[in-house]
Chains A and B, each alone.
Chain A
């Protein structure tokens, strides 16, 4: 049996994190949590994860967006799949006036809206990890 997949959750709402973490733990993922983008970045630069679950709106604004951009500009981290979990899917236009209105406004792999059904979360997670591993093998 292969090692459990490592998932990092970055979200500033501890109650929501518990709900996500319990689902992933129940499916034998090895989960870690950061409750702000600073700790999240710290964790990302010191450990390797198979998947990142990222909240967009943290702290005083769209800190998750900044983090996602930072990740995409990092040669190593950009290989890691990112699942954005957000409560603002429909409000992006409002909260980011004058900016491109598209779920791909940050180059992330997937975007789901809070709350997320357990089945959907697990499907997205598995698919993203499998896809990344496929890319990785193809590159070798």
Chain B
């Protein structure tokens, strides 16, 4: 595997045996001699830890009962040196319960004495497989983190550049064809330019979002009437809903409900949740967007009667780049809900999801209502126009 190869290629896996009994050290070395391993031994915990610290290791066998440093201390010491090193305790027949203690402290498995060569080979192989998986998982986590951090750069090159090139040529075409096109054709060309402008604007927002800290978006916070972003989000999803014959409706308790926030990213957040609901709905399904106020907060819920989300996926739907099993072909990068969560959190809000298999899912976004003179969450008449016309 590429990742493992990057870490391990070019040298045999290193196994360290820390045991005070010479016969155990020697037989372990002999048993593994026919495999592609490098086996090192140490006769006490102190020496063993030094060895691991100096040379590194993939797998360490630790005798629990040794003079000097105890096996428990050695396990913890190894974890301090490198938590990805796999440790297996070797234990006398009578001390199985302490082996369990050792596993609680991070040992991967235990091997009771006496053991046969086959048992030792098998557990060594399993330990090394474990080590490979741990390294792979660490690397994947690191890559995911790097991907998230580099999102701005990726978006910049992979999406924004082609869009810019398209837009640049539309600019030129509309000039060159100014005399040849009918008014209707010109209108369509203008629509294309304006749609690409919207996308470029959205990408800029994302990039600001992922490349800088939250305070950047907070700088542009202003009172926003929620009916605006909700209407815009629904309008954008409507074509998809029509294609799938999904009935998309909204119930807004009070059109004057407002929050303090950034209209563009709020629209994006609602759009993500609503379009997900429609995307994963059955044909002829129903999606309802409800907006109401409760205890000083504005609550936006998006409810569908689709297939529902399995519990193991539900726990991860707000993670970046997470794709539920079976949805890999549904399009999207698995970023929508992660981004939505961060947008909502920047607004001091929360997003939650509930789902029941076969019944449907409900996503709930809760954001503090904008304070106002007459009534929390409602903007007074003079300011009712705020948040509009900023698209």
Q: Which of A33-41, A65-73, A110-118 contacts B (4 or more CB under 8 A)?
A: A110-118
Whether B207 and A90, one on each chain, are in contact in the complex, defined by CB atoms closer than 8 angstroms, is yes
A134, chain B: closest CB distance, angstroms: 29
Question: CB-CB < 8 A to B164: which residues of A?
Answer: 16, 87, 114-115
Interface size class of chain A, counting residues whose CB lies under 8 Å from the partner chain: 20 to 34
Whether A91 and B207, one on each chain, are in contact in the complex, defined by CB atoms closer than 8 angstroms, is yes
Question: CB-CB < 8 A to A109: which residues of B?
Answer: none
Q: Which of A18-26, A44-52, A76-84 contacts B (4 or more CB under 8 A)?
A: A18-26
Whether B153 and A91, one on each chain, are in contact in the complex, defined by CB atoms closer than 8 angstroms, is yes
Complex: chain B residue closest to A19, CB-CB? B168
- Kindly name the residue among A18, A20, A91, A95 whose own CB sees the greatest number of chain B CB atoms within 10 A: A91
Judge if B157 is at the interface, Cβ distance under 8 Å: yes
Complex CA distance for A112 and B150, rounded to whole angstroms: 23
Whether A13 and B156, one on each chain, are in contact in the complex, defined by CB atoms closer than 8 angstroms, is no
Q: A90-B207, A93-B211, A94-B153 are in contact. Are A13 and B172 (CB under 8 A)?
A: no
A61, chain B: closest CB distance, angstroms: 10
Question: CB-CB < 8 A to A108: which residues of B?
Answer: none
Question: CB-CB < 8 A to A22: which residues of B?
Answer: 169, 172, 176
Complex CA distance for A117 and B174, rounded to whole angstroms: 11
Question: Which of A20, A23, A90 makes the CB contact (< 8 A) with B208?
Answer: A90
Q: A93-B211, A94-B211 are in contact. Are A87 and B168 (CB under 8 A)?
A: no
Whether B176 and A15, one on each chain, are in contact in the complex, defined by CB atoms closer than 8 angstroms, is no
Whether A16 and B165, one on each chain, are in contact in the complex, defined by CB atoms closer than 8 angstroms, is yes
Judge if A132 is at the interface, Cβ distance under 8 Å: no
Whether B169 and A118, one on each chain, are in contact in the complex, defined by CB atoms closer than 8 angstroms, is no
Question: Which of A23, A94, A114 makes the CB contact (< 8 A) with B172?
Answer: A23
Question: Which of B167, B169, B204 makes the CB contact (< 8 A) with A18?
Answer: B169
Complex: chain A residue closest to B169, CB-CB? A19
Question: CB-CB < 8 A to A43: which residues of B?
Answer: none
Judge if B186 is at the interface, Cβ distance under 8 Å: no
Restricting to B157-213, which residues have a CB under 8 Å from any CB of A? 157, 160-162, 164-169, 171-172, 175-176, 200, 204, 207-208, 211-212
Whether B175 and A26, one on each chain, are in contact in the complex, defined by CB atoms closer than 8 angstroms, is yes
Whether B171 and A13, one on each chain, are in contact in the complex, defined by CB atoms closer than 8 angstroms, is no
Complex CA distance for A118 and B193, rounded to whole angstroms: 13
Complex CA distance for A20 and B164, rounded to whole angstroms: 11
Question: CB-CB < 8 A to B212: which residues of A?
Answer: 93-94
A34, chain B: closest CB distance, angstroms: 17
Question: CB-CB < 8 A to A116: which residues of B?
Answer: 168
Complex: chain A residue closest to B193, CB-CB? A115
Q: A87-B161, A94-B211 are in contact. Are A20 and B156 (CB under 8 A)?
A: no
Judge if A88 is at the interface, Cβ distance under 8 Å: yes
Question: CB-CB < 8 A to A94: which residues of B?
Answer: 152-153, 207, 211-212
Question: Which of B153, B160, B166, B208 makes the CB contact (< 8 A) with A95?
Answer: B153
Complex CA distance for A115 and B200, rounded to whole angstroms: 9
Question: CB-CB < 8 A to B207: which residues of A?
Answer: 90-91, 94
> Contact flags (1/0) for A104-140 with B, using CB distance below 8 Å?
0000000000111110000000000000000000000
Q: A19-B165, A114-B164, A115-B164 are in contact. Are A91 and B152 (CB under 8 A)?
A: yes
A113, chain B: closest CB distance, angstroms: 9
Complex CA distance for A88 and B161, rounded to whole angstroms: 10
Q: A15-B165, A16-B161 are in contact. Are A91 and B171 (CB under 8 A)?
A: no
Question: CB-CB < 8 A to B211: which residues of A?
Answer: 90-91, 93-94
Q: A87-B164, A93-B211 are in contact. Are A19 and B171 (CB under 8 A)?
A: yes
Whether B171 and A117, one on each chain, are in contact in the complex, defined by CB atoms closer than 8 angstroms, is yes
Whether A87 and B156, one on each chain, are in contact in the complex, defined by CB atoms closer than 8 angstroms, is yes
Whether A118 and B172, one on each chain, are in contact in the complex, defined by CB atoms closer than 8 angstroms, is yes
Question: Which of B152, B157, B169 makes the CB contact (< 8 A) with A15?
Answer: B169
A9, chain B: closest CB distance, angstroms: 12
Complex CA distance for A23 and B161, rounded to whole angstroms: 18
Whether A20 and B168, one on each chain, are in contact in the complex, defined by CB atoms closer than 8 angstroms, is yes
B94, chain A: closest CB distance, angstroms: 58
- Kindly name the residue among B152, B156, B165, B168 whose own CB sees the greatest number of chain A CB atoms within 10 A: B168
Complex CA distance for A116 and B153, rounded to whole angstroms: 20
Question: CB-CB < 8 A to A117: which residues of B?
Answer: 171
Name 12 interchain pairs, CB-CB below 8 A, sorted by A. A15-B166, A19-B165, A19-B168, A22-B176, A26-B172, A87-B156, A87-B160, A87-B164, A90-B207, A91-B156, A95-B153, A116-B168
Known: A15-B165, A94-B207, A114-B161. 20 other contacts (CB 8 A): A15-B168, A16-B164, A18-B172, A20-B168, A22-B172, A22-B176, A23-B175, A26-B176, A87-B160, A88-B156, A90-B204, A90-B211, A91-B152, A91-B153, A91-B211, A93-B212, A94-B212, A95-B156, A114-B160, A114-B168
Q: A: which residues have CB within 8 A of B?
A: 13, 15-16, 18-20, 22-23, 26, 57, 87-88, 90-91, 93-95, 114-118
